[in-house]
A and B are shown apart, each in its own frame.
Chain A
Amino acid sequence: MKSWKRNVVILLTILGLLLPAAPSVFAAEKTVIIGYTASRTGKLNVEGMRQINGLSLWIDQVNAAGGVKLPDGTVVKFAAKDYDDESKKERVQELYTKLISTDKADFLISPYSSGLADAAAVIAQQYNKIMITAGAASDSTYKKGFSLVYQAYTPASRYLTGALDLLGKLDPSAKKVAIIHEKDKFSTDVVNALKAYGETKGYQIALFEGYDSGATDFAPFINKIPPDTQAVMGGGHFADTSTFAKQLFEKGVKAKMVALLVAPPEPKFAELGDAALGVIGASQWQPEAKYSEEGAKKAGVEWFGTSVADFDKTYKAKFKEEPSYHSAGGYVAGLIIEYAIKKSGSTDTAKVKEVLDGMNLMTFYGHLKFDNTPKAHGLQVGHEMVYTQWQKKDGKLVNQIVWPEAAQTAKAINYFPR
């Protein structure tokens, strides 16, 4: 009988000792669902798939590191729920409603492209859910009165303006710029802002012409470029921009700079051979980017998340492909949510929103800061584009970062004379 009593006392003592540590041993775990639709099929599937890869890498890493611990001891882990939107708008609202109502998504990531993201934003806002947009570059999305939509990409209005700054450095006497662009929402937004910026800088926009999506013959536009033009800018998406670059070369355009959208940062662009040489492209991120914790410290900005080298290495190891800026965009969309949950200590929309509104962060993807005024709420104001240029190194074409100067891997060269 005595031994029975003794056993109870020992058991109670052990339990008593364990109790204070209980929260850490039996901590509640919560799975936060990140919902999104992506272009798994359709015309934007390359960009869409890269984005999915980036996000899934982030989920793997954050969960492997034990998730995010909230002050109340809850451990937050992440899971994704996604549907294919076929790069079309018809079902975007239906799928986002399903993600929120049926699949109980806590946070949302936008579909790829501004038109689709706008339709999804109406639903996100209505259900009081935060949505991070990746691949929705148009400024207009953020001028529609949404208060829960945040942009990870540099907006279209600042897509090519840096190229003009670079032109000022390359040739301070340059005066004339020709702009030839695809007539779609994104490219038109980019060049309208470029034109306005150029004019404030004193440049003369000698030609401003748009071509229809899917155009293959650019000769009529190239023939119109005045002979003393120092820079040709514009383009649109991969296929048309590549053909445009090829025809600029074949026609022997004698501009000092050629800066084009979307196509030049893609490794496939090098297949143009000599026509690619000297062409400058605007990219949201490159694996050669030099963003680092030390750099953030120097700039007095908080650093968060993985390093550029680690992202590059783990991405290549998992997906057996080079990461593009779309991959980095997918990863950083998750990283932003992780940071805001960690900082606010909550998964509540209002508290997370408060952190995002005041966020000023440096990551492997670059600087991130959102406009928090009602006029353009959620617009990305911190992140900068990097400008790449195809140059020859040991007889081979390589894509170098030429702007901004802080991130340079090589000095910019003239398109002509070569």
Chain B
Amino acid sequence: MKSWRQPGFWLPLVIVFLWGGIVLVLRQDTVRETAFTVLMFMALASSLNILLGYTGYVSFGHIVFFGLGGYTGFYLISEQGWPLLPAALAGGALSGVIALLVGLAVLRLRGAYFALATIGINEAARAFVSNFGPFGGATGLFVNFSAYEKYGGAGQALWTTFTFLWITTLAVLVVSYLVKHSRFGLGLQAIREDEDAAMVMGVQAPRAKTITYVISAFFPGIIGTLYFFKNGNVEPGDAFQLHMSIEMLVMVMLGGMGTVLGPMVGATAYQGLRGYLLTSPIFKDLHLAVAGLILLLIILFVPAGAVGWVRGRLPALRRVLE
């Protein structure tokens, strides 16, 4: 089964490719900013889905990789003068290495114990960075405004960052699909259904889980670097926000966990809704309450997520809506 022949492979890619392409052609700053927020959460949610959706392991503190990778990449840009792209890749690589080391220890835990351990890791990373001199301790790091000159000024730098994020999102979606449809991915799904049975059937669960954890940590590291570079500064409080972790989980659940398209739909719906409510003249003072109510209704009535619901109702679409 060649992936590129499957409509389910192409659908998410074509949507994101066209969307990002239109934003680049339109070249309107407001449109770019809105797209940046949605694409960022789409890529983060899709990364988390590779672990959560395929292995069933709930990582509550997944934002730690966004923070640590972001800090590393930002440090390389601001203190070592690295260009954005290699710094972002280095940020991603460091997140992957940390996931490997941490994974060897915490992936032995299951269920609620694993979820709690990931929260602990996030808090420990925040405490470490707050006391780590090279990362600026509690005050964090910043880039001088003139650093954007290298990219053709701040305006152009923001466009470049957006383009990198767009490509990263496409890469996450490709990886997510390939993992799901590989032999390796089938092993992960067996782990999700019954880990002990999967091991009896020959799935090397510890190794498979660790590799998945590394993959799902790599992309948040890149995204973190892009995000903090765009903001011009990084502080421990912004890098390790637990609420962002929870939002990532919500987006995955909303769209449908274990599907490639689900986190995309979840992120677009959730962030689109938040963005609209925040700036709408009618709802802007009530946006949190309205967003909460809508989420509650969706989770109560569509627990499988939007994509899961459609797949359940219309079996003919299953090959398209992966």
Contacts and interface: CB of A to CB of B under 8 A. Distances in A.
B144 A144 contact: yes
A102 B32 CA distance: 13
Given A84-B287, A183-B130, A98 B232 contact: no
Contacts of B275: 91, 94
A262 interface: no
A115 interface: yes
B139 A185 contact: yes
A98 B33 contact: yes
A125 B144 CA distance: 12
A92 B238 CA distance: 12
A183 B285 CA distance: 32
Given A119-B233, A188-B137, A83 B279 contact: yes
Nearest to B149: A145
B231 A212 contact: no
A122 B232 contact: yes
Nearest to A140: B142
A144 B142 contact: yes
Interface stretch (B7-15, B150-158, B195-203): B150-158
A101 B158 CA distance: 15
Contacts of B232: 118-119, 121-122, 144
B278 A95 contact: yes
Contacts, number: 99
A74 interface: no
A94 B37 CA distance: 8
Contacts of A115: 140, 233, 235, 237-238
A84 B145 CA distance: 26
A138 B139 contact: yes
A383 interface: no
Contacts of B154: 122, 125-126
Contacts of B37: 90-91, 94
B109 interface: no
A140 B235 CA distance: 12
Query: Which residue, B33, B139, B145, B153, has most C-beta atoms of chain A within 10 A?
Result: B139
Interface string A172-191: 00000000000111011100
Contact of B284 (A83, A93, A102, A183): A83
B221 to A, nearest CB: 18
A343 interface: no
A141 to B, nearest CB: 8
Interface in A94-148: 94-95, 97-98, 101-102, 115, 118-119, 121-122, 125-126, 138, 140, 144-146
A209 to B, nearest CB: 12
Contacts of A95: 278-279
A290 interface: no
B33 A188 contact: no
Interface string A41-70: 100000000000000000000000000000
A235 to B, nearest CB: 14
Given A93-B230, A140-B139, A40 B285 contact: yes
A98 B158 contact: no
Contacts of A101: 28-30
A185 B230 contact: no
Q: How large is the interface on A (under 10, 10 to 19, 20 to 34, 35 or more residues)?
A: 35 or more
A129 B88 CA distance: 30
A95 B37 CA distance: 11
A92 to B, nearest CB: 8
B231 A122 contact: yes
A118 B231 contact: yes
Contacts of A86: 278, 288
Nearest to B130: A183
Interface in A7-57: 40-41
B33 A94 contact: yes
A40 to B, nearest CB: 7
A98 B30 CA distance: 5
B224 to A, nearest CB: 12
Contact of A102 (B30, B36, B155, B288): B30
A86 B292 CA distance: 15
Interface in B285-299: 285, 287-288
B278 A91 contact: yes
A84 B238 contact: no
Contacts of B32: 97
B279 A97 contact: no
A94 B34 contact: yes
B33 A97 contact: yes
A145 B148 CA distance: 11
A210 interface: yes
A89 interface: yes
Nearest to B279: A83
A189 B30 contact: no
Contact of A145 (B30, B146, B235, B238): B146
A185 B231 contact: no
Interface in B205-220: none
Query: Which residue, A91, A145, A185, has most C-beta atoms of chain B within 10 A?
Result: A185
B138 interface: yes
B143 interface: yes
A84 B278 contact: yes
Contacts of B101: none
A101 B27 CA distance: 12
B127 interface: yes
Contacts of A93: 33, 230-231
Contacts of A185: 138-140, 235, 237
11 contacts: A94-B37, A97-B32, A115-B233, A122-B148, A125-B145, A125-B154, A144-B142, A183-B130, A183-B131, A212-B127, A213-B237
Given A95-B279, A97-B29, 11 more contacts: A40-B285, A84-B278, A93-B231, A102-B30, A119-B233, A122-B145, A140-B142, A144-B143, A183-B131, A188-B137, A213-B237
